[in-house]
Structure 1
Amino acid sequence: MKAIMVVGTTSHAGKSLITAAICRILSRRGWRVAPFKGQNMALNAYVTANGGEMGYAQAVQAWAAGVVPWVEMNPILLKPQGDMTSQVIIKGKSMGRVNAADYYEQYFDMGWRAIEESLQHLGNEYDLLVCEGAGSPAEINLKHRDLTNMRIAKHLNAPTVLVVDIERGGAFAHVVGTLELLEPEERALVKGVVINKFRGQRSLLEPGIKWLEERTGIPVLGVIPYMEELFPAEDSLDLLERKSHKSQGDIQISVVRLPRISNFTDFDPLESESSVSVKYLSPKQDLGHPDAVILPGTKTTIPDLMLLQRTGMAEAIQNYAAAGGTVLGICGGYQILGQMIADPEGIEGQAGRFPGLGLLPIKTVITGQKIARQRQVSSNFPQIGLPVTGFEIHQGRSRVETQGVDPQAYQPLFDDVNLGLVDKCQSVWGTYLHGIFDNGPWRRAWLNRLRQQRGLKSLPTGVANYREQREQILDSLATQVERHLDLSPLLS
């Protein structure tokens, strides 16, 4: 099968972005292409049409390629839980939780079989695979058990491009050092270097490029200028560097950056709204007085709930809601807003029953069986009858409490009561639905409530869903990268 491999000198070099760009470039040239990442460690996940989990970045790369995301594009997904353990997802299904020290002993052979099977399946369906590595291919203490870098490149005999982030400094040393640490047969596969995130005048870089090509014998295939964040970050460390581009938007929304925050790609559509400023807030920071507070998804709900209580953020949110502020919880955030979370089996680490924030009348039990599925529902609020699509990924089962609760005080958010609730004042919202803000009319209707409270004019609700905007972003990304990248040595 034909394949291209994209590896990086470091994490965050821009591999995911370059992979997505190449997928779109080749798709526009008439190739039937698919992305592939053998093993990904991320808490941003996507649920495919058949209910399998995969890395969200690979789903975006599939959309860049113009194809439907399937779990074979990311056969191994590790979802870290923050206690030196990770949940292992193989070909879309959870295999349980494992300690980092035991992972390769227990799952290496199974993982490689899943990778080979997935590559075979994709090779039968597509003209070319654009494969992405993870971290660095030259981690000498890990190479013997690396499932996603040069092992795959060698297996596919794939021409490989090495991406380096020049903004971090030391780019030439990173390239030379990485190449020096590769085995001869691995280095022979590297057909070019891409210098990414360059700011400044290209002519000033030319002496360095000339030296690098002479020193390594490998051409520099492109110098990609720095682009504003176009691609969803894969882990929460990226949120530390992410700053709102609109510090003075009409509407200020604070997302609580939980320690194990997951699926924060849910908020990309909000950040795309020109009138909205999104701020990621540490639980240790002052909540302030935003127009809305969002509790996002989390891989481990109970430890994050306990942290909110220890830092005082839980009480701050309760006081904010009592004063009439708007609070929205998604997935784990929805569970945190409830009355109680029980974990009888200690799946999240500590067995027991834990009081929630008490803002919604639900009780949640954490179970070993995960729900992962796409959904299509109709909204009851903030406007009735809006079609809404998204997906669920959660291990908790939540039950709406009726005893001692005014039946008129809370209403189902959608035509499926199990997907969420809203209070009668439309101030406290909770849902299991990831991707809810991708739905343009629903997002605008929800934002218009916030705007009305500020006395601002409502925005039009007849807007396209975010996927159309994402298509424009991917086209723009591909156009910019294609202008600066020579793919011919990789395709020949």
Structure 2
Amino acid sequence: MKSIMVVGTTSHAGKSLLTTAICRILSRRGWRVAPFKGQNMALNAYVTANGGEIGYAQAVQAWAAGVVPWVEMNPILLKPQGDMTSQVIIRGRPVGKVNAADYYEQYFEIGWRAIEESLQHLGTEFDLIVCEGAGSPAEINLKHRDLTNMRVAKHLNASTILVVDIDRGGAFAHVVGTLELLEPDERLLIKGIVINKFRGQRSLLEPGIKWLQERTGIPVVGVIPYLQELFPAEDSLDLMERKPQKAQTDLNITVIRLPRIANFTDFDPLESEPTVSVKYISPKHDLGHPDAVIIPGTKTTIADLILLQKSGMAEAIQNYAASGGTVLGICGGYQILGQIIADPEGIEGQAGRYQGLNLLPIRTVITGQKIARQRQVTSNFPQMGLPVNGFEIHQGRSRVEQQADNQAFQPLFDDVNLGLVDSCQSVWGSYLHGLFDNGPWRRAWLNRLRQQRGLKSLPTGVANYREQREQMLDSLATEVENHLDITPFLP
């Protein structure tokens, strides 16, 4: 099975970015390429065409490779939900909830079998597999049960790239220390070192590169500059590393950074708008007076609802809405905006019935059966007849309550179950992830905010975000290709 493996000296070394770039580079050279990550821990997820969940980063890598995302590209997805527990998703389907201490005892064999089967399937369909590791391959307390790094590399006999983040400092120690902690047969698979996030003059780095190559016997095959492009992140830590706020914009949108925030990739298209500034704030901070407030998805709706109420943010959002402010809830955020959230089976923890923010006339029941599917619908608001594509991932079922005034709230789409908006178009709620990926819908929604500010409307005849993402992927691949020698890793 022809394969390349990318591992890193640390988390956030640049494995996902490098894997993405290699997928696009090889695709442009005519290879039929598939990305692969054996096990991913992330709350940013994507739903494939067959209704299976994978990490959003692997979906982006599939798009970079020019192929449709498959569940085999990420056979194990762990979705943390607090209290040291995670939902376990294997081959796209949830199979249980487990705490960290018991995970490997219960799921190691099942997980490795899923990895082997997925690799076998991909190997029959693609010319080459580009695999991404997780964290570090040299965590000595975890190596015996590591499903993602060198176990996969050895299984495939994959030529492996070790990437290090020089921006953090200590890069040479990270590389040498990682190699020292690998087993001899693992170290033999490391065919090249990539220094990532380099700022400064290359000539000043050359003595270090020469020393590193002589010390390890492994060539440095790339020095990649610090790239400013914003790509979908894997977890909420990346929210702290996002680009600085734009100096001057027409609209300011605040996203509540819930403790268990999920699918904040929903807002990448907003961040790509030159006239929009997106700010993430903690529930403990002052809400201020933005042009819109967004409550995003969350892995544990009830726990985050309770935190909003205890922190005072729930009341702040209610007051903001009462004063005419625009509020949007997506998925878990949509449920939070409702009247009641009931969890009779204790799916999210303690069974009970909880008061929502009472801004939308819905009642939600948390159930054990998850809904995960792609959707194609037509909008009713903010503009009639716009095609909208996205996907659902949620365990709650929401029911619209009988209204005294049937005109007070209207279905957002031609499917009433996917969301509501009030008559003033101030309070919005939807189960649809990827909503802002739809360029005309996004611009129409932003134009409502601009109208309130007395600003001129933006053109709505714009491409969907996927076209902008394609340009970003091409730019990424071109930049990386200029600084990386991938030839030694090709069969």
Q: TM-score range by the shorter chain?
A: over 0.9
Q: Runs (4+) of structure 1 moved beyond 4 Å?
A: none
1:415 aligns with 2:419: no
Measured after TM superposition, the shift of residue 406 of structure 1 is 1.9
TM-score between both structures, scaled by the size of structure 1: 0.99
Aligned pairs for 1:112-123 within 5 A: 112-123=112-123
- Who is 2:405 aligned against? 406
Structure 1: gaps of 5 or more residues: none
Which residue of the partner structure matches residue 428 of structure 2?
429
What is the distance in 2 between the residues matched to 1:296 and 1:229?
A: 23
The answer (yes or no) to whether the contact 1:36–1:74 under 8 Å persists in 2 is: yes
1:472 match? 471
Residue of structure 2 in register with 1:4 after alignment: 4
Equivalent runs, 1:340-419 vs 2, <5 Å:
340-402=340-402, 405-419=404-418
Aligned-pair distance for 1:248? 2.2
Name the TM-score, length of structure 2 as normaliser. 0.99
Q: Distance in 1 between matches of 2:18 and 2:231?
A: 10
Q: What is residue 239 of structure 1 aligned with on the other side?
A: 239
Cα deviation for residue 28 of structure 1 reads 0.3
The answer for the alignment partner of 1:482 in structure 2 is 481
Partner of 2:250: 250
| Alpha-carbon distance, 1:229 to partner | 3.9
- CA distance in 2 between partners of 1:244 and 1:192 (Å): 33
- Following the alignment from structure 2 to structure 1, what is the Cα–Cα distance between the partners of residues 399 and 113? 40
Give the 3-state SS of the residue equivalent to 2:482 in structure 1.
helix
Cα distance between partner residues in 1 of 2:41 and 2:51: 19
Matched, 1:456 2:460: no
Write the letter of the residue equivalent to 2:442: R
Please give the per-residue CA displacement for 1:231-285, whole angstroms capped at 9, x wherever unaligned.
Answer: 2110001112224441421000000000000000000000000000000011011
Contact 1:361 1:405 in 2 (8 A): no
Q: Which residue of 2 aligns with 1:447?
A: 446
Describe the SS at the equivalent of 1:306: helix
| Map of 2:262 onto structure 1 | 262
Gaps of 5+ in 2: none
Cα deviation 1:387-418 (Å, max 9, x = unaligned): 0000000000000000x542110000000000
Percent identity, aligned pairs only, is 86
**Distance in 2 of aligned mates of 1:233 and 1:464:** 23
Q: Is the 8 A contact 1:230 1:477 kept in 2?
A: no
CA contact (8 A) 2:230 2:242 kept: no
Root-mean-square deviation over aligned CA pairs: 0.7
Instruction: Indicate yes or no: 2:22 matched with 1:22.
Output: yes
SS of equivalent to 1:481 = helix
2:40 pairs with 1:43: no
Decide whether the 8 Å contact of 1:252 with 1:276 is kept in 2. Answer: yes
Distance 1:444 1:28, change over 3 A: same
Matches within 5 A, 1:186-335: 186-335=186-335
The alpha carbon displacement at 1:23 in A equals: 0.2
Q: How far does residue 120 in structure 1 lie from its aligned partner after superposition? A: 0.4
Task: Give, in angstroms, the shift of residue 373 of structure 1.
Answer: 0.2
- Quick check: 1:409–1:424 contact (8 Å CA) kept in 2? yes
* Separation (CA, whole Å) in 2 of partners of 1:405 and 1:372: 33
Distance (Å, rounded) in 2 between the aligned partners of 1:231 and 1:78 = 21
Q: Which letter maps to 2:352?
A: G
CA contact (8 A) 2:287 2:316 kept: yes
Q: 1:489, CA displacement in angstroms? A: 1.5
1:449 maps to amino acid: R
1 CA distance for matches of 2:72 and 2:116? 10
| Cα separation, 1, equivalents of 2:244 and 2:449 | 19
